[in-house]
Structure 1
Amino acid sequence: MNKYTLWSLRLGFSGKQSSKIEKLGLPTFLEKSFASPFDKKVPQLLDKSPKSLEELKSKRQEIKNSNSEQAKELLKVEFQVSQEMKAWWLQKMINDEFPLREKMVCFWHNHFVCTFQKVKVNYWIYQHNQILRENAFSNFKTLTKKIIQTNAMVRYLDNVDNKNDKINENLSRELLELFTLGIGNYKEEDIKNGAKGLAGLNIGENSAQYRRFLENNDTISYFGKTGKFKIDEMVDIIFEQKAIPYLITRKILQWFIYDNPSKTLVTYYGDYFRKVNFEIKPLLIKIFTEEFPKDNAGSKIKDPLVYIMQVMNELNVEQLSPKLLAFYLKQQGMDLFNQPNVKGWNGGKEWLTSQIYLQRNNVADLLCNGKNISRKAQFMDNDMVKENINQLVKVSLNWTKAGNNKTIIAELQDRLLFQTNENLQKDWETILKYDFNPKADGADNAVMRLFNNMIKTPEFQIV
């Protein structure tokens, strides 16, 4: 596979940026990615969703006072807004000239998990997502402080139930186990005392805030330090621990390059992360620039986002509904804003189960034949995709209409596959025979059949 295409897939969601990386060089491409602008305005799709606590209280009262059918309709509106948010985010991923920020937002989204299914307030989920966007390349400690104090997080991890007289340890545990240190790097005492420090951190107007009558002001011991600690002081103490850089460094390597990064690499980059005081941008620059020259293609299974967006980009698909795309991702186990649990999507081999592989091959057939990515009748009951089910999709494949069958095969191989073998070559030369005429009337169809065959191979599923 062409190195620039490989890194376009890693630093974005498709091969769309490969020519930019080649032309600009990786360091300049990264700088432009870090400096890429993003919209800070609340999207219009949230206009009718409650944003203030007063509006939320009013909406809940309206639902409470409605009959069952009316209440169902009111709840349905909020569910539909949550689907619109998925489409809104996917449009950003597709349209951004430098998509690394959105790729990083998606990483943080799967690290600091909060789901609409449990939070049930779209505006809080949007706030959470926007904080990830604004701080995607900033400081890990600062981001941790901000994200723990979102309304979405205190609702999702049950800190609204964590009170002075009834301690709930959920947020305290995940803060250590999943967000910062990882299992084995803390004691149960730290979780219990940390929960006391978090008691009373509850829903606020624009972010979570401590409620004076619910908080616990006991003197606690936290990682060997004694005091009356609240969330900011707790995070400061966590970031003094020896293990702090390695969990997140491993996850960043897994997200971008290696499903199974070596302990040596994790330690090497983790030590650097500590040295730069947990600044994310210099860590990313170091990882990307040092891994770029290595021969490391084929080290990661594509997630559903990268798979479908690469295919769409190759086929120059423009009019595919982002709502339908979101539904396809849900089928593939990558439901945006709704991970299966607080651990998020596990990735790796779970992105290539027999069912997911079959779904990908079915989608390849549909798109290569100009059809939408699902034709199943079950979609007819889903308002989100109902209008798009029978829509035809205009597709076209770019290839050099000169040379012979072997040069055309090689061109597609270079864009699509991290490796090939003799048997695959024979299969492709059966599709494009030795006397293939690139100027013939059916040439495009023949090359499309070749493309379809290539993207169904296990080799295409790996990057």
Structure 2
Amino acid sequence: MNKSNLWSLRLGFSSKQASEIEKLGIAPFVQKSISASFTNDMPSFLNDDPKTLAELRELRLSIKNTTSDEQKKILKKQIKNAAELKKWWLDKMQQEAFPLREKMVCFWHNHFVSTSQKVKVNYWIYQQNYLLRENAFGNFKQLTKVMIQTNAMVRYLDNVDNKKDKINENLSRELLELFTLGIGNYTEDDIKNGARALAGLGLGEMDATYRKFQEDNSDKTYFGKTGNWKADDLVDLIFQQKNIPYLITRKILKWFIYDNPSEDLVTYYGDYFRKMNFEIAPLLTKIATEEYPKDTAGSKIKDPLVYLFQMIDELNIEDINTTLITFFLKQQGMDLFNQPNVKGWDGGNSWLTSQIYLQRNNVADLLCNGRNISRKTFDKTLEEGEQPNVVLEKIKVTIDFDKNGNNKKIISELSNRTLFKVNDSMQKDMENLLKYDFDAKEENANYGVLRLFNYIAKTPEYQLI
């Protein structure tokens, strides 16, 4: 696979930025991606959703005092807006000229998990997404302070139930285990005393806030230091620990390049991260610059976003239904704003179970044949071999190829864009599909190349980057 295509997929969601990487070089491309302007305006469909505690109480009171039909109507609107929020974010991912920021927002979204299903306030979920976008390339330590003090997080990890006379350890535990240090780098006493320091941190009008009669103002010992610690103090003490950089550098390497990064690389980049005072921008630049020259293609399974957005880009599809994209992602196990648990999506092999692979192949068949994705594509109630009783919407699909090329040149062109390797058997199969007498200038040549791409898209090698 051409390096520019490979790294366009890794630093975005498709091959759209490949030419820009070739033109600029990898380090300037990353710098340009980091400094690119972006919008962070609240979507209009959230205008009437509650944003403060006062507005939330007012909504709940109105629900309590209205008819059952009106209650259903209000609830239906909240559910609809949760779905609209997913579509809004997907549009941002597709529309950005330099989508690395959205790729990083998605990374942080899967690191500091708070799900829509549990939080149940759309604005708080949007607010987290907003903060992640603002701080995507900023300071990890500062971002950690911000994220554990959002309304979404204190609700999701039950810190609303954490009071000085009734301690809940969820947020304290995940702050150490999943957000910063990882298992084995703290004690149970650190968790208990951290929970005491977080006691009383509950829902606020716009952000989480301490409640005077629920917080614990006694001294606590945390990582060997004693004081009347609060949320910011905990993060400061955590970031003094020896192993603080390595959990996050391992996760970043997994997100962008390797499903199984070596511990040597994790340590190497972690030590640099510490030296850079936990600034994300220089870390990403260093990783991309130093890993780019290496032969790393095929080291990571594509997540569903990359799989589908690459296919949409290759097929030049302009009118795919965003609602169907959200459904595809959910069926593939990558439901935005609704990870299966606080650990987030596992990634790696979980992106390529036999069922997920079959779904991907079905989608490839549909799109390459000019049919839109249908919910029926994934209907588990259908018997094996049974065709869904649905008329599939036609869409325009075309594929870019050299109109002056012969069959081998076109096969090579598509392979270089999409496959990390091609063995003799695959080459033979592709030449059987696009035979030696293929005329690229014929009126129906596009259909022949689409059949070739459909074959490519269903190979195991296509699932890797």
Asked whether the two chains share a fold, i.e. TM above 0.5, the reply is yes
Identity, % of aligned positions: 66
Query: Post-superposition shift, 1:95?
Result: 0.5
Is 1:413 the equivalent of 2:412?
A: no
Query: Post-superposition shift, 1:14?
Result: 0.3
Spell out, residue by residue over 1:9-31, the C-alpha distance to the aligned partner (whole angstroms, 9 max, x if none): 00000000000110111122111
- Residue equivalent to 2:446: 444
Spell out, residue by residue over 1:372-431, the C-alpha distance to the aligned partner (whole angstroms, 9 max, x if none): 11251888xxxxxxxx98532211111001121111110100001000100111111111
- Residue equivalent to 2:341: 341
Contact 1:372 1:389 in 2 (8 A): no
- Residue equivalent to 1:362: 362
Give the distance between the partners of 2:125 and 2:439, measured in 1 at CA. Answer: 54
Spell out, residue by residue over 1:256-295, the C-alpha distance to the aligned partner (whole angstroms, 9 max, x if none): 0000000000000001111111011111111010000101
Give the distance between the partners of 2:409 and 2:63, measured in 1 at CA. Answer: 64
Alignment RMSD (CA, Å): 1.3
Is 1:140 the equivalent of 2:140?
A: yes
Amino acid at match of 2:272: Y
SS at 2:90 equivalent: helix
Q: 1:323 to 1:389 in 2, by over 3 A?
A: farther
SS at 2:254 equivalent: helix
Contact 1:375 1:390 in 2 (8 A): no
- Residue equivalent to 1:125: 125
Matches within 5 A, 1:226-305: 226-305=226-305
- Residue equivalent to 2:43: 43
Contact 2:4 2:22 in 1 (8 A): yes
Q: 1:228 to 1:389 in 2, by over 3 A?
A: farther
Give the distance between the partners of 1:63 and 1:343, measured in 2 at CA. Answer: 34
Amino acid at match of 2:313: N
Matches within 5 A, 1:313-332: 313-332=313-332
Give the distance between the partners of 2:239 and 2:68, measured in 1 at CA. Answer: 49
Give the distance between the partners of 1:324 and 1:375, measured in 2 at CA. Answer: 7
Q: 1:148 to 1:14 in 2, by over 3 A?
A: same
Spell out, residue by residue over 1:342-362, the C-alpha distance to the aligned partner (whole angstroms, 9 max, x if none): 000000000000000000000
Give the distance between the partners of 2:68 and 2:394, measured in 1 at CA. Answer: 38
- Residue equivalent to 2:94: 94
Is 1:429 the equivalent of 2:431?
A: yes
Query: Post-superposition shift, 1:63?
Result: 1.9
Give the distance between the partners of 1:93 and 1:61, measured in 2 at CA. Answer: 37
- Residue equivalent to 1:383: none
Question: If the length of structure 2 is used for normalisation, what is the TM-score?
Answer: 0.96
SS at 1:226 equivalent: strand
Amino acid at match of 1:376: K
Question: If the length of structure 1 is used for normalisation, what is the TM-score?
Answer: 0.96
Spell out, residue by residue over 1:112-156, the C-alpha distance to the aligned partner (whole angstroms, 9 max, x if none): 000000000000001111110000000000000001010000000
Give the distance between the partners of 1:426 and 1:453, measured in 2 at CA. Answer: 12
Give the distance between the partners of 2:280 and 2:396, measured in 1 at CA. Answer: 40
Give the distance between the partners of 1:390 and 1:365, measured in 2 at CA. Answer: 12
Which 5+ residue runs of structure 1 have no aligned equivalent?
380-387
SS at 2:221 equivalent: strand
Give the distance between the partners of 1:3 and 1:166, measured in 2 at CA. Answer: 55
Spell out, residue by residue over 1:64-93, the C-alpha distance to the aligned partner (whole angstroms, 9 max, x if none): 223444323211111110110000000010
Give the distance between the partners of 2:244 and 2:121, measured in 1 at CA. Answer: 32
Spell out, residue by residue over 1:412-452, the C-alpha distance to the aligned partner (whole angstroms, 9 max, x if none): 00001000100111111111111111122321111110010
Contact 1:105 1:132 in 2 (8 A): yes
Give the distance between the partners of 2:356 and 2:37, measured in 1 at CA. Answer: 35
Give the distance between the partners of 1:191 and 1:355, measured in 2 at CA. Answer: 39
Contact 2:10 2:257 in 1 (8 A): yes
Amino acid at match of 2:371: K
SS at 2:136 equivalent: coil
